Structure 1
Amino acid sequence: MQLLSLLGPVDVIEPFVEYVVLALVLLNMGTRWLAYRNYSKQATDDDRETLDRWIPHELSNVLLVLGSFYFLTTHHHAGIVLSSLVLGLFITDFFEVEARSVEMRRGVPLDKPKGALAASFVVFLYVAYLSLFTFIKPFWSAVV
């Protein structure tokens, strides 16, 4: 039987898609931290009324969503769960930036993006479970 090549040259990463998504999640977590630093710097500027979204973080969000959708084409059940978590993270991140803008307009200190941090940690735990379970499997099989 001939394998279906859904996305052509992109299907080369199919054996490593879990690790690619794990790298994208870690990249997204790093850019979230850098974006918060950027928002804090913008908040100290007195003539601003709203925060500008940090483009590298927005690109990492889009790449993470696309990566989770690609993972959905290779592993259906885990892909649906991961895509749901990533879309929740995307929506949470959108509203966290809006909340920081409101805080800046009110003149209060910026809070950390707690909701987006919690959502990204849940996504990280799930992707780490999917990608690193092969290393834990012998120990897990001995226990269960």
Structure 2
Amino acid sequence: MQLLSLLGPIDVLEPVAGYLVVALVLVNMGTRWLAFGKYREQAKDDDREEVDRWIPHELTNVLLVLASFYYLTLHHHGGIVLSSLVIGLFIADFFEVEARSVEMRRDVPLDRPKAAIAASVLVFLYAAYNTLFFLVKPWWSAIV
């Protein structure tokens, strides 16, 4: 009997899908930090009215959404929770950039993207819990 292959050749990523999501969340956190540095540089320019979205960070956002949807096809319960968290992160990130543009127009110092940072930490914790639970399973089983 042939196994169901929903996405064809992409299904070879199944064993590493969780690790891929964790890695993408970490890369996304790093690009968020770098993007905020770019926004600060843009804020120093007096001729600008708003900040430009930094393409590498936006690319990691899209890749993270796609990876979470792929994870959803593999692990339904964990995938729907992870996808919901990632969509929340995506929306928070979108509005954080808009908030930086408003701060720039009002000539106030740029605030850190607190909501997006909190959302990315939450996504990282959940993705790490799903993927790396085998590391703490012996201790968890002894207690619970």
- Band the TM-score falls in, shorter-chain normalisation: over 0.9
Structure 2, unmatched stretches of 5+, are none
TM-score, normalised via structure 1 length: 0.98
State the aligned residue count: 144
CA deviations over 1:73-112 (Å, ceiling 9, x no partner) = 0000000000000000000000000000000000000000
2:37 corresponds in structure 1 to 37
2:57 corresponds in structure 1 to 57
1:129 corresponds in structure 2 to 129
CA deviations over 1:11-41 (Å, ceiling 9, x no partner) = 1110111101000100100000000000000
Amino acid at match of 1:70: Y
Verify: 1:72 aligned to 2:72, yes or no. yes
| Structure-1 separation of matches of 2:75 and 2:3 | 15
Secondary structure in 2 aligned to 1:46? coil
Identity %: 74
TM-score, normalised via structure 2 length: 0.98
Superposed, 1:1-144 pairs within 5 Å as 1-144=1-144
| Structure-1 separation of matches of 2:59 and 2:7 | 21
CA deviations over 1:46-75 (Å, ceiling 9, x no partner) = 100011000000000000000000000000
Amino acid at match of 2:72: L
How far has the Cα of 1:10 moved from its partner?
1.1
| Structure-2 separation of matches of 1:118 and 1:11 | 31
| Structure-1 separation of matches of 2:59 and 2:5 | 26
| Structure-1 separation of matches of 2:42 and 2:99 | 14
How far has the Cα of 1:4 moved from its partner?
1.2
Secondary structure in 2 aligned to 1:5? coil
Amino acid at match of 1:103: E
- Runs of 4+ in structure 1 deviating by more than 3 angstroms, as ranges, are none
